Amino acid sequence: MLSMVSKTVSQHIINYISTSSGSKRLLLQDFHDLELPDREDTAIVEHYRSLGLLFKRCTLLLPTKERLKYIHKILADVSCFKFNGCAAPLQCVGLLCYGIFLQTLTAGWDELECHRVYNFLCELTHLSRKMQTVVCSKPGSARKLELRIRLFCRNVLLDHWTHRSDSAFWLTCILKPWPMVNQARLLYIIFGPISPQDGQVVWQKMIEGPTDESCLKGLAEAIKLLYDTGTKEWTADDVISLVDELSVVPREWLLENNARLLILSGNNICFTFMASKAVNGRTIELAKLIVFLALVSEKELYCMDWAVKMMQKVCKVFSTPVERNNFLQSVADAFACAIMEMLQLVMSGDGDDDDRSFMNLFHLVQAQASFHKEVLYLTMNVLPS
């Protein structure tokens, strides 16, 4: 409040911040003494939220470029605010505090000013060059750098915004300079599954076996963010292409994981993705996807009539009766084929995988029964009791 009394008083406060006593009092650095479940509610985080407001008011009359230079000069000695500054980043809330500080500072700024902030941060951290390294390397060959990029992007740029449109803006800044294949890689690095032991990105998770909601929730939320917020840089086709590209990072995912991602991404994205396959004549892929939507619905106890209604809606995308009949035949064939493949796996299985393979087969048979029950209700115009 004092900083807004007059230009003279504001200058006195700026001068005080630059002194050793002001710096010691305001730039707290005990970022590692925290074991609370919700780290955003800690005293030091709130301190940096208030500090962001102080800097916002003190530098109000400066041009954006000068504000950023001044703030960088003051914060330069806080090592945990730097990209590689902390030796124990997973036990540190330094980047989180830096993100909260920047969020408070830039709240209400227009897009042009926020672009300047992003460019300033990229220049400061060489973020673009580091991203270039990870997207052009074999997945997992630069694990520590992948982790640093994830932590910086999530804690500094993405995770604290109240309005989804703000999060979408910063995610767009991160992704849009890159080709689609690199966008998918970056999305996986920033939001994909990580190891609970060392926090590093687990690249094989979607390939090796069925995964759960916790591994896909971050990716699904990011996809919804780009699709739902009406960001002008992203058309529906862009987002669907990104989902398609993501499903082969680092290699083609299991269809069950692909289906689970689509379900978590919501009805609109799920339908648009499947309709795109229908329009492009990828009928067999589409039929297999219907089977795994049914399987995930069965496993997670979702309403099976959702999967049937989704198939019915997609069916209408096909322009002729012949195409629709071919699609429905393909769905029936895909169920039969998936059951036979799982049965062969059970019969040839050994050791620990036996039970898992058998349970997968059990769920698939149950899914087929539930799916066809809903189809019968629909065709017979009978309401389920």
Q: Rounded to an integer, what distance in angstroms lies between the CA atom of residue 40 and that of residue 55?
A: 20
Q: What SS3 class is residue 30?
A: coil
Cis before residue 250, ω within 30 degrees of 0?
A: yes
From first to last of its 385 residues, what are the pLDDT tens digits of the chain?
887 778 888 888 888 888 889 888 999 988 986 565 455 668 899 999 999 999 999 888 889 999 999 999 999 989 999 999 999 999 999 999 999 999 999 999 999 999 999 999 999 999 999 999 999 999 999 999 999 999 999 999 999 898 999 999 999 999 999 999 999 999 999 999 999 999 999 999 999 989 999 999 999 999 999 998 777 889 999 999 999 999 999 999 999 999 999 999 999 999 999 999 999 999 999 999 999 999 999 999 999 999 999 999 999 999 999 999 999 999 999 999 999 999 988 888 755 566 788 899 999 999 999 999 999 998 888 776 5
Can you name the residues that pair with 201 across neighbouring β-strands? 194
SS (H, E, C) 249-289: CCCCCCHHHHHHHHHHHCHHHHHHHHHHHHHCCCHHHHHHH
Burial 208-225 (b: 16+ CB within 10 A, else e): eebbeeebbebbbebbbb
Residue 12, pLDDT score: 87
Rounded alpha-carbon distances, angstroms, from residue 221 to 18, 171, 185, 323 = 41, 12, 16, 34
Tokens of 117: 């902030």
Residue 6, pLDDT score: 82
* Axis-axis angle for helices 283-299, 353-379 (nearest 10): 100
Rounded to 5°, the CA angle 143-149-153 comes to 150
Residue 41, pLDDT score: 62
Tokens of 328: 């429905």
Alpha helices (H) along the chain: 7-18, 20-26, 43-58, 64-75, 94-106, 111-125, 127-136, 143-152, 164-175, 180-191, 205-208, 213-228, 236-246, 255-265, 267-279, 283-299, 304-315, 321-348, 353-379
Residue 8, pLDDT score: 86
Q: Rounded to an integer, what distance in angstroms lies between the CA atom of residue 323 and that of residue 235?
A: 28
Evaluate the CA torsion angle 142, 148, 154, 158 in order and state its sign.
Answer: negative
Per the listing, tokens 């301190």 go with 47
The residues near 199 (Cβ < 8 Å, ≥ 6 apart) are 90, 147, 151
Residue 350, pLDDT score: 58
Name which of 169, 54, 171 is nearest 112 in CA terms.
169
The residues near 319 (Cβ < 8 Å, ≥ 6 apart) are none
Residue 62, pLDDT score: 85
Evaluate the CA torsion angle 306, 308, 309, 310 in order and state its sign.
Answer: positive
Tokens of 205: 């998770």
